[in-house]
Amino acid sequence: MSAEGQWERYREWLYDDPGQGFRLDVSRMGLQSEFVERMTPRLEASIEAMRRLEGGAVANPDEERMVGHYWLRAPELAPTPEIGSEIRDTLRDVVEFAGRVRSSEITTPSGESFEHTLIVGIGGSALGPQFVADALGNPGDRLRPRFLDNTDPDGITRVLRGLGGDLSRTLTVVISKSGGTPETRNGMLEAAAAYRSLGLELGPHAVAVTGGGSKLDDFAEERGFLRRFPMWDWVGGRTSVMSAVGLLPAALQGIDVDALLRGAAAMDRATRAADPRSNPAALLALAWYHAGDGRGTKDMVVLPYKDRLALFSRYLQQLVMESLGKERDLDGNVVQQGIAVYGNKGSTDQHAYVQQLRDGLPNFFATFVEVLDDGAASGIEVEDGTTSGDFLHGFFLGTRQALWDSGRPSITLTVDRVSAERVGALIALYERAVGLYAELVRVNAYHQPGVEAGKKAAAAVLDLQRRLLAALAADADGGTAEQLAARAGAPESVETALKVLERLAANPGRGVKRSATGTPAQAIFRRE
Amino acid sequence: MSAEGQWERYREWLYDDPGQGFRLDVSRMGLQSEFVERMTPRLEASIEAMRRLEGGAVANPDEERMVGHYWLRAPELAPTPEIGSEIRDTLRDVVEFAGRVRSSEITTPSGESFEHTLIVGIGGSALGPQFVADALGNPGDRLRPRFLDNTDPDGITRVLRGLGGDLSRTLTVVISKSGGTPETRNGMLEAAAAYRSLGLELGPHAVAVTGGGSKLDDFAEERGFLRRFPMWDWVGGRTSVMSAVGLLPAALQGIDVDALLRGAAAMDRATRAADPRSNPAALLALAWYHAGDGRGTKDMVVLPYKDRLALFSRYLQQLVMESLGKERDLDGNVVQQGIAVYGNKGSTDQHAYVQQLRDGLPNFFATFVEVLDDGAASGIEVEDGTTSGDFLHGFFLGTRQALWDSGRPSITLTVDRVSAERVGALIALYERAVGLYAELVRVNAYHQPGVEAGKKAAAAVLDLQRRLLAALAADADGGTAEQLAARAGAPESVETALKVLERLAANPGRGVKRSATGTPAQAIFRRE
């Protein structure tokens, strides 16, 4: 396309909201008016479905739940006054509690101020807080969060050792909606052991964010946690960042949570527009649909040109892939939907994989995030009249152009600055776009039936491990994986048994010894 | 497939090297013997091509260069004695220099010991050091590296402020093979300004890793850098981690660089095997080919179940995508090759996007990395007889099984532990697999012609910026983006001009003012 034609398309397709310091440019996605016209009835129906959702319709039929993350920033829209009050009360409690920690009214049992925050959570209970902390915080911040977001014992030890003696002045925030997530439970118990090793108790150093009456809720009450904040069944994990899940860590770090909510609320208003062309979430959903033919045939590569937004792609990876990656549509037909998401930051990633984006497989569309304000710049000139920030912006425009010249489509999001308000708006924009796209391709964006199978299989592995250890204990001669699997009553699980036995044998003190010779199938495992 | 059939396949396809503590299992990739037989002649030719490469053939015809990263861990294989000596001498110099910094023989100008390391580099000059430091280091390590890996002024400020007064005891390592990478040059100049603000000079706090006679080499000599280490034209950026690029930061942090090289050398020996079935790199290349039909139709999702390996996927993203993502094959035919790579770590990612992997788009194959040794585990039981590490391993096996049950293929790499030797081996394995796969699909793995276009376009943007500023200076009335682009002699670049002007206007002190009203096309820009 000629430069002139592209300038015309830019003006035609631009969504510009100066009040929100936000722009969306889909002019390089190859959308045509006929396509938009053809899609408009479906989009309007999608927007209407979102309206019903916001009104309190049950949108997660697996769990019979409403989907209410939009109410978190507009409690007046909640379907009942009780829900509205709960949202307001919780926000007030979060802000008040964080303020009292920051002002050292709330202290450790020995009267010291809390200086560090340790978040124990995984998935939606970590990705939102991580993104917000990195986008809006700074390395030296008091109460900057560190994370236990896995059940890797070495990884947990590394984080806890990094805190060292500072653990005594660390506030641990345990986040689990269901209260039963094993990774989070494990991380919490490991943290409790670390406090104990300093002669301290977890409870007076901890708060919980969890559903009322959950296992974690009970545990927190028993152990005398400083506070318990609610999670509601109508907020999904991947959209929980504006509940206590995300607000509490942010408020502890001194981030303006009101601005975060305000930015999201403003974007919510903008993305309720009935006309797709003046609704940025509808434009995004349309562009995704067009790029991937409504079947996700193109990966979404997310390239923010700003270090602070480097975790945005990881946040979106969950939001998009867990919401859209579904086997069946709303009618039960097998559709195997989804959109794969990856990316880190520009211009760094230009030196990693833009080679492939420009020249190789055309199996993606790019999403550039442009930030106008350079932020905390030194102001020095690296060349005559030119700053580091000029180079960053030049690389963004140059790379976008180079992709365009080789026929690779891209979306550009522009924000005036990285602020709590804008981060709230970006999150809200993608929440709505995902909801609309899900309606377009007729999948349920609000459940995750596919993760159960892995959890069940994992539980079976742990059960098999117990039975293998019992089989080893019962016979000093031990046996091969095949023999032991049979004795453990799982002759069909030889490969799993082998892998469990190999790992136990690799860890001293687990009571399993492996013969040094032979193939894995021939190896003899004995009790140690 | 029945569990019994899978157990048979496991035994049939397993590559097991107990001496290296390494296993590769491609049994869940659907490979059949006929496919392997059909591919064997091409694979043998690929292995032979790699042999020629290792012998010193010119494999980067764009730049008329040999490709010698394999010599870095086996200098006796270098094609000339001079190259072999250079490799040995540089290794010796790196280890000696790092030792003298660590023992405080080499100090700051005021005689203090260096306590921190700041790496300035991007792409291959950052990803390798980042991966190695995170895999093998610990948060409290002396001389643990921090990175300036972008030209984002705010991001640079954030890192430098994080160092604060400690900058005076920070050794800055500037890494740029060409010595002309703008991001790295900018980061270096920003660091120099930060030293200056403390009344210090960069030179006596800095070392350079760069090609002899490069701009950076000259600069380092002029400014009295403590030392300059060589980069050779026969080492590509994305395979430079075993040159001074990766070894110097690692040695400074106290990582065993000899073990890193030893592990890589051992894997190199294993991956030279002529028989594809007993060559793990050939098995990987075969599995990738089979999964993606030799056209990259499946993304590579990399899931190490170990926090320390979380950056492996980002490292591989560059190695795989920049090597394989090519427009043309060796005969000049347009082929648009590549394989997209993404992933973070398990079990964390199960809570992010395994929903899509299990149920959604079947557009990927998974690569699990299993680590047998739990590492620095607390040893506590989180349930009766069960540890956090048992859960991690159970989740890995459970998720792999759940993917398999829904027909999603996966590769499993197993290492006995995360050690310098094993990290070296993993890197070497993928370097060879990428080389072999490139031969199979007949693309050149050792150049990156596609990144030039973006760089040129970026330079044009910066040039346009200068001309726009001149046009603004020449006429106090200013004008619209369209008018100013014309006056700057670039009427075809209105959109770019608009974006440059908007950004300058968003940053105070850049001399550009934008009228508050109107659409972007109508906005008037004036000198401030």
Q: Indicate whether B330 and B437 sit together in one domain.
A: yes
Q: Is the Cβ of B52 closer than 8 Å to some Cβ of chain A?
A: no
Q: What percent of chain A has pLDDT over 90?
A: 95
Q: Indicate whether B414 and B352 sit together in one domain.
A: yes
Closest CB to B326: pick one of A194, A342, A359: A359
Q: Is the Cβ of B190 closer than 8 Å to some Cβ of chain A?
A: yes
Task: Name the active-site residue from A177, A205, A306, A322.
Answer: A322
DSSP H or E run through A511: none
Residue A123 and residue B461: Cβ atoms within 8 Å? Answer: no
Contact B425, B22 (CB under 8 A): yes
- pLDDT category at B528 given cuts 50, 70, 90 is confident
Q: Is the Cβ of B509 closer than 8 Å to some Cβ of chain A?
A: yes
Q: Indicate whether A117 and A138 sit together in one domain.
A: yes
Q: Which of A447, A466, A483 is the last residue of a domain?
A: A447
> How far apart are the CA of B137 and the nearest CA of chain A, in angstroms?
10
Q: Is B393 a catalytic residue?
A: no
Closest CB to B520: pick one of A14, A181, A397: A14
Tally C-beta pairs within 8 A across A and B: 503
Q: For residues B171 and B318, what is the distance between their CA atoms, to the nearest angstrom?
A: 27
Q: Indicate whether A398 and A473 sit together in one domain.
A: no
Q: From the candidates B297, B307, B365, B522, which should be mutated to test the interface with A, based on the most A CB atoms within 10 A?
A: B307
State residue B3's pLDDT score. Answer: 80
Mean pLDDT within A97-109: 98
User: pLDDT tens-digit profile of B429-485?
Assistant: 999 999 999 999 999 999 999 999 999 999 999 999 999 999 999 999 999 999 999
3-state secondary structure of B474: helix
Task: Name the active-site residue from B8, B48, B105, B455.
Answer: B455
Q: Is B455 a catalytic residue?
A: yes
Q: Indicate whether A132 and A276 sit together in one domain.
A: no
Tokens 């490799």 appear where? B87
Query: ∠B376-B380-B384 over CA atoms, to 5°?
Result: 140
Contact B176, B119 (CB under 8 A): no
Residues of A in contact with B151 (CB under 8 A): 347, 388-389, 391-392, 395
pLDDT value at A250 more than 80 = yes
State residue B250's pLDDT score. Answer: 98
Q: Is B322 a catalytic residue?
A: yes
Q: Indicate whether B205 and B283 sit together in one domain.
A: no
Q: Is the Cβ of A339 closer than 8 Å to some Cβ of chain B?
A: yes
Residue A394 and residue B459: Cβ atoms within 8 Å? Answer: yes
State residue A360's pLDDT score. Answer: 98
The residue segments making up the domain with residue B519 are: 450-527
Torsion on CA atoms B139, B144, B149, B152, rounded to nearest 10: 70
Token readout for B515 is 């009228």
Q: Indicate whether B126 and B219 sit together in one domain.
A: yes
Judged by CB atoms within 8 Å, which residues 57-116 of B form the interface with A? Answer: none
Residues of A in contact with B360 (CB under 8 A): 296, 321, 324-327, 336-338, 450
Tokens 């009571």 appear where? A511
pLDDT value at A36 more than 90 = yes
Instruction: Determine the residue type at B283.
Output: L
CA-nearest residue to A343 within chain B is: B342
Q: How many helices (H) and strands (E) does chain A have?
A: 17, 15
Q: Indicate whether A476 and A413 sit together in one domain.
A: no
Closest CB to A189: pick one of B362, B382, B520: B382
Residues of B in contact with A515 (CB under 8 A): none
Q: Does residue B356 belong to any structural domain of this protein?
A: yes
Task: Name the active-site residue from A64, A76, A351, A383.
Answer: A351
Q: Is the Cβ of A217 closer than 8 Å to some Cβ of chain B?
A: no
Q: Indicate whether A499 and A359 sit together in one domain.
A: no
Closest CB to A122: pick one of B3, B185, B348: B348
Residues 6+ apart with CB under 8 A from A505: A512, A513, A514, A525
Burial of B508 (0-12, 13-18, 19+ CB in 10 A): exposed
Mean pLDDT within B71-88: 97
Closest CB to A348: pick one of B122, B374, B418: B122
State residue A198's pLDDT score. Answer: 96
Q: Indicate whether B337 and B202 sit together in one domain.
A: no
pLDDT value at A528 more than 90 = no
Residues 6+ apart with CB under 8 A from A274: A44, A47
Closest CB to A157: pick one of B358, B378, B493: B378
Nearest to A40 by CA among A282, A280, A295: A282
> How far apart are the CA of A265 and the nearest CA of chain B, in angstroms?
24
3-state secondary structure of A516: coil
Q: From the candidates A302, A349, A390, which should be mutated to test the interface with B, based on the most B CB atoms within 10 A?
A: A390
Q: How many domains does chain A have?
A: 3
Q: Does residue B41 belong to any structural domain of this protein?
A: yes
Judged by CB atoms within 8 Å, which residues 278-317 of A form the interface with B? Answer: 295-297, 299, 305-308, 314, 317
Q: Does residue B265 belong to any structural domain of this protein?
A: no
User: Is the peptide bond prior to B388 cis by the omega test (within 30 degrees of 0)?
Assistant: no
State residue A359's pLDDT score. Answer: 97
Tokens 């397709």 appear where? A13
> How far apart are the CA of A81 and the nearest CA of chain B, in angstroms?
32
pLDDT value at A141 more than 80 = yes
Mean pLDDT, all residues of chain A: 96
Q: For residues B227 and B220, what is the distance between their CA atoms, to the nearest angstrom?
A: 8
Q: Is the Cβ of A519 closer than 8 Å to some Cβ of chain B?
A: yes
Q: Does residue A263 belong to any structural domain of this protein?
A: no
Q: Indicate whether B428 and B464 sit together in one domain.
A: no
Residue A394 and residue B507: Cβ atoms within 8 Å? Answer: no
Closest CB to B451: pick one of A338, A355, A379: A355
C-alpha gyration radius of chain A? 26
* Dihedral over Cα of B453, B459, B461, B464: its sign: negative
Q: For residues B327 and B334, what is the distance between their CA atoms, to the nearest angstrom?
A: 6
Residues of B in contact with A377 (CB under 8 A): 153-154, 157, 507
CATH number at residue B150: 3.40.50.10490
Q: Which of B205, B223, B255 is the last residue of a domain?
A: B255
As for the ipTM of the complex, it is: 0.98
Q: Does residue A29 belong to any structural domain of this protein?
A: yes
Tokens 């398309």 appear where? A9
Q: Does residue B260 belong to any structural domain of this protein?
A: no
State residue A322's pLDDT score. Answer: 98
Q: Indicate whether A202 and A341 sit together in one domain.
A: no
User: pLDDT tens-digit profile of A454-474?
Assistant: 999 999 999 999 999 999 999
Mean pLDDT, all residues of chain B: 96
Alpha helices in A271-387, H assignment, sequence order: 280-292, 312-324, 354-359
| Least confident interval from A504-518, B77-91, B118-132, B299-313 | A504-518
CATH number at residue A455: 1.10.10
Q: Is the Cβ of B450 closer than 8 Å to some Cβ of chain A?
A: yes
Q: Does residue B81 belong to any structural domain of this protein?
A: yes
pLDDT value at A1 more than 80 = no
Residue B161 and residue A153: Cβ atoms within 8 Å? Answer: no
CA-nearest residue to B391 within chain A is: A151
State residue A55's pLDDT score. Answer: 92
Residue A492 and residue B4: Cβ atoms within 8 Å? Answer: yes
Q: Is the Cβ of A258 closer than 8 Å to some Cβ of chain B?
A: no
Contact A340, B363 (CB under 8 A): yes
User: Is the peptide bond prior to A347 cis by the omega test (within 30 degrees of 0)?
Assistant: yes
3-state secondary structure of A521: coil
Nearest to B98 by CA among B247, B258, B205, B225: B247
Mean pLDDT within B140-149: 96
Q: Which of A423, A447, A471 is the last residue of a domain?
A: A447
* Dihedral over Cα of B228, B232, B238, B243: its sign: negative
Q: What percent of chain B has pLDDT over 90?
A: 95
Residues of A in contact with B392 (CB under 8 A): 150-153
Q: Does residue A260 belong to any structural domain of this protein?
A: no
Mean pLDDT within A262-283: 96
State residue B247's pLDDT score. Answer: 98
State residue A173's pLDDT score. Answer: 98
Q: From the candidates A309, A392, A443, A510, which should be mutated to test the interface with B, based on the most B CB atoms within 10 A?
A: A392
Residues of B in contact with A385 (CB under 8 A): 466, 469
DSSP H or E run through A302: strand A299-304
